[in-house]
Every structure is written in structure tokens, then in C-alpha cells.
Amino acid sequence: MLYRCHPGVSHEEILYMDLPFVLFIPFNRPGYDAVRLPPATISLPSRTLETYYELVVSLHQGNQNNSEMKRFAFPVPLCRYDSLSTFGMYNVQEVQEKTTDHLVNLGIKLPRWSYGPGDTVQINIYVSPNPDWSKAKRVSIRNISVVIEEAITFNPEGDEPKTVINKIQRQTLNVQRKLPAEGFQTHCALLFPRKEARDNDGCLPRQKQGFPLYHVSGFTTTAYLYKIEYFLTVKATFSAARDITLRQRIVVCPLDHEGCKEEMDAIEQAANDAKYVNPENPMLPSPVIIRPKDRNALHKLGMTYVGTDRKLLIE
């Protein structure tokens, strides 16, 4: 509640109001697992799923004999910055190794595991034989494929969750060589898909109100009714040995790596400013309320009286 009429008064005549307020977004606290961070605003193509936020202001006006309730909705895009590729936790090398028949091992190393539109996904791939070379000397590597997958899970917390897998980028390395005793190593670089915002004429289409303009079709996020995850799948095909598939989770950010760098200073400044805000009693400017009988009341509306005529105010 930002404003209420004085006690004993059914209504008040007001020309102009400026009521500062602050709303705190809920966040996780120790011991309160039920409180979740709200998911970011998102809209997938064909409206597969959407999360949309509005700031709704209710205005009750009129007197006892003729009252009216009006609601005004203002779209509020909500962006989250916990997946920026510049954060240190995403720049720790991820290593995974797997074998299927103990003849060969397939391993991958990811120097970084958060990516945005147009970022290069660097993968170091290695295949090592069994230490007992006599067991693996007949093995040959046919090809190695690398795929970036988008996994959308609907109703993830329900009884029957449904997952849809979309392959958004793929690259195949045609090796066709015998596995040497010292093993095989290679490097793969995939360009994460970048969604072109402009149309064929080079014009930016009108953006849907309340949705930020992103250069990715989707990004890592979780809500009550859906979950969007991304995986890097590496599959090695052999002869004289079983195929091996590795699936490594990655994070997709709406911003590319350079865009993440640009946001870091603003995030640091916002964090410093937030330290001095008391959630119980935030320091806000005083409200401004202009009533018809106040001096120069019409000035706030850009109007004034010239004699008995109401005119536009020219300062």
C-alpha cells in the first residue's frame, strides 16, 4: 500500500502523485530452501514457453456513491546475471573420462563451460588405450562427433516430466586411423550459434514489449513448469571396440563473453550500493502529492491559468 486517504475521509481530490517505492526480489537464504530466485524473462520461438513479468498498480478512485477500481500493468523485464562466463566458477577446467569395454578411454577437457552467442566452444579430446597394449592394438578410430544439445524439460517437478532434445550445433572429425600406443589427442572448436536479430532487409523488427532482445534462441534457466539445460555430447566411433559417448553439462548465457566483461563493473557497483540498503527501512525520497488547492498546482501537469483560461505552461 503506497497511499490511503486520511481516516474518516471517503475520498480526496488529487492532481498529481509521485510515490517512490522499492520492491525486493526474493532470494535464497540459509535455512529457507522454499524461497527461490525467480527465473529470467524468456520467450522461446513459436511461444514454446514464456516467462513474463508485470508491475501492476491498482488505483481505487471515486466516492462512496460512485467508486471505480483500475489496474495498470507495466511490463518489467527481469534479467539474471548468475551465468556470466566471466565468473571464476565457469573458468575452472572441467574434465570427464569414460570407457565402455576397458579397451579404450575417451576423455574431454573444457577450459571454460559457460558460453554465449558467437562464443567459441573449445574442447580438448583424447583417446587412450588400455595399459595392456595387447588388448587395444587392433582398435581403430573412425570418427569423433561433437554436438551441442538443448534439453527442454516440461513439468520437471511433476509425475510425468517430458524432455525435448534439440541439436543446435554439430561437428564431426573424420579420423580414420589406428589408435597408437601413446594414445590420440585432438582439438575441436565449435562456434555457439548466434541468433541474427535483423531481418533480410537489415532492419530490427519490433521487439515484443517486456522481453529483452537476446542473440540466442534460449539460455540456461529453471522455473516451476520448465527447465532449459545444455549439454556438450562427444561420441567416438571405433572399430574392434565399442563406441563411447560422453555428455557434459554446460551453461548458456544470453550475453557473449565480451558482453559479460562489460557487465562486470556495473554488477560490482550495484553490489556495493546494495550493501547500504536496509530491506526493513530503505531510504527513499519523500512522496510528492499535489492537490487542486495547492499553489501552482497545475504546473505539475504542464498547465497554468491565464486569467480564467487554462493554458499550456511555457517556462
Domain ranges of the chain: 88-268
Spell out the alpha helix ranges (H) of the chain. 133-136, 257-274
pTM of the model: 0.84
- Maximum average pLDDT range among 7-16, 19-28, 209-218, 226-235: 226-235
pLDDT of the residue at 32: 53
Cβ count within 10 A of residue 80: 18
Q: Cell numbers for 305, please give them.
A: 491559468
Contact 173, 190 (CB under 8 A): no
CA 26 to chain centre: 17
Nearest one of 203, 226, 230 to 216, comparing CA atoms = 230
What integer is the mean pLDDT of 253-260? 93
Average pLDDT over residues 72-87: 92
Q: Which CATH class is domain 88-268?
A: mainly beta
Torsion of the alpha carbons at 251, 254, 257 and 263, rounded to the nearest 10? -120
Q: And the C-alpha cell for 208?
A: 515484443
Mean pLDDT of the region 67-86 = 90
Residue 315: what pLDDT?
Answer: 66
What is the average pLDDT score of the chain?
87
Question: DSSP 3-state assignment of 299?
Answer: helix
Residue 21 pLDDT exceeds 60: yes
Lowest mean pLDDT, pick from 6-10, 99-103, 170-174: 6-10
Which range has the worst mean pLDDT, 10-19, 98-107, 217-226, 233-242?
10-19
Q: Which band of pLDDT confidence, cut at 50, 70 and 90, is reported for residue 54?
A: very high
What residues does 109 pair with on adjacent strands? 95, 124
Reduced to 3 states (helix: H, G, I; strand: E, B; else coil), residue 212 is coil
User: For residue 260, how many other CB atoms are within 10 A of its CB?
Assistant: 22
Q: Is the pLDDT of residue 28 over 80?
A: no
